[in-house]
């Protein structure tokens, strides 16, 4: 189901009411299910993603967190990790929730907006990190994830189809490893994409390619956590090994651990 929120504005002195629609929950503003599936299949098949070479799940959400499309790259829903279906939606929601487009105050640290990938959150949410505890906020709505609210779960055969039970509803959730990115057109955030089904580093690589194939990486002047533009929400590998064991420390505070068969993020296509 596609939902749309109308905004009422007007002039009391003239007695006029004008209806405009910024389409916060209008899924027609985002690619279709078939376009998402096609982009996901192409991205998964591209060399250089590293990881395990598995099939993946992908989810698109609108600006208000409404799930617009859920797809998988394999031949059926059991061709990729089943648990990654909800994780992909959680990543899309996270990237959408904590990214901003143009329109932030000119006096802010990010006057052109802030693009934050889920990969940028890993170090910040560790104990002692600046965002510790964020991963426990905004839990996934499992009734939405599995259509369990009426005691009769949706058929699993609908998972990843145009009729996935999450579509048209808000899944929520916060994910803090690679695979979620904001979607942008001309520096304006229009939603989020999440990918899951392989190592978290590979999830990021595939999500990046999916966003590019969908032509929704128009970040323009939007900045990343270090103030850079160009590739502002790319995965950062700056965690130094801890000689005492345990998790090392990210030099910039937003680093992500390397993964099995770690990919090279510098080979990703540039943003528009």
Helix, strand, or coil (residue 209): helix
Return per-residue pLDDT of the chain as tens, 272 residues: 333 333 333 333 333 333 333 345 679 889 999 999 999 999 999 999 999 999 999 999 999 999 999 999 999 999 999 999 999 999 999 999 999 998 889 889 999 999 999 999 999 998 888 888 888 888 888 889 988 766 677 789 999 999 999 999 999 999 999 999 999 999 999 999 999 999 999 999 999 999 999 999 999 999 999 777 677 999 999 998 777 766 688 988 999 999 999 999 999 998 88
> Side-chain half-sphere of 242: how many Cα atoms within 13 Å?
8
Residue 13 maps to a domain: no
Beta bridge partners of 182: 192
Closest CA to 204 of 160, 258, 156: 258
Contact 95, 87 (CB under 8 A): no
Helix, strand, or coil (residue 35): helix
Residue 43 maps to a domain: yes
Show the domain range for 75: 27-267
Residue 96 maps to a domain: yes
Copy the structure tokens of residue 138: 């905004």
Residue 19 maps to a domain: no
Angle 261-263-266 (CA atoms, 0-180°, nearest 5)? 160
Copy the structure tokens of residue 153: 């779960």
CA 131, distance to chain mean position in Å, is: 18
pTM for this predicted structure: 0.88
Q: How far apart are CA 44 and CA 55, in angstroms?
A: 7
CB atoms within 10 A of CB 73: 25
Residue 197 maps to a domain: yes
Q: How far apart are CA 64 and CA 67, in angstroms?
A: 9
Residue 260 maps to a domain: yes
* Sheet order of strands, 188-196 included: 67-72, 57-62, 188-196, 180-185
Q: How many folded domains does the chain comprise? A: 1
Per-residue model confidence as pLDDT tens digits over 131-186 = 888 888 888 888 899 887 666 777 899 999 999 999 999 999 999 999 999 999 99
Residue 223 belongs to domain with CATH number: 3.30.450.150
Residue 172 maps to a domain: yes
Helix-then-strand count for the chain, H and E: 4, 8
Closest CA to 128 of 7, 2, 247: 247
Closest CA to 251 of 240, 241, 243: 240
**What is residue 157's DSSP assignment?**
G
Residue 6 maps to a domain: no
């Amino acid at each position: 189901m596609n939902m749309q929120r109308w905004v009422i504005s007007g002039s009391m002195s003239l007695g006029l009411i004008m209806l405009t629609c910024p389409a916060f929950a209008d899924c027609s503003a985002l690619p279709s299910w078939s376009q998402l599936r096609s982009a996901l299949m192409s991205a998964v098949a591209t060399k250089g993603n590293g990881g395990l070479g598995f099939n993946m799940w992908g989810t698109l959400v609108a600006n208000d967190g409404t799930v617009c499309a859920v797809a998988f790259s394999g031949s059926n829903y059991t061709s990729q990790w089943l648990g990654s279906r909800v994780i992909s939606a959680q990543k899309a929601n996270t990237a959408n929730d904590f990214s901003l487009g143009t329109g932030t105050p000119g006096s802010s640290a990010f006057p052109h907006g802030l693009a934050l990938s889920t990969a940028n959150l890993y170090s910040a949410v560790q104990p002692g990190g600046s965002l510790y505890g964020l991963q426990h906020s905004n839990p996934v709505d499992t009734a939405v994830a599995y259509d369990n609210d009426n005691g009769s779960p949706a058929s699993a055969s609908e998972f990843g189809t145009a009729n996935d039970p999450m579509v048209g509803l808000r899944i929520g959730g916060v994910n803090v490893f690679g695979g979620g990115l904001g979607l942008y057109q001309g520096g304006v955030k229009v939603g989020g994409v999440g990918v899951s089904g392989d190592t978290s580093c590979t999830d990021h690589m595939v999500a990046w390619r999916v966003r590019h194939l969908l032509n929704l990486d128009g970040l323009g002047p939007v900045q990343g956590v270090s103030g850079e533009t160009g590739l502002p929400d790319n995965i950062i590998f700056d965690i130094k090994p801890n000689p005492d064991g345990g998790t090392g420390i990210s030099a910039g505070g937003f680093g992500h651990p390397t993964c099995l068969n770690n990919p090279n993020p510098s080979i990703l296509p540039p943003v528009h």
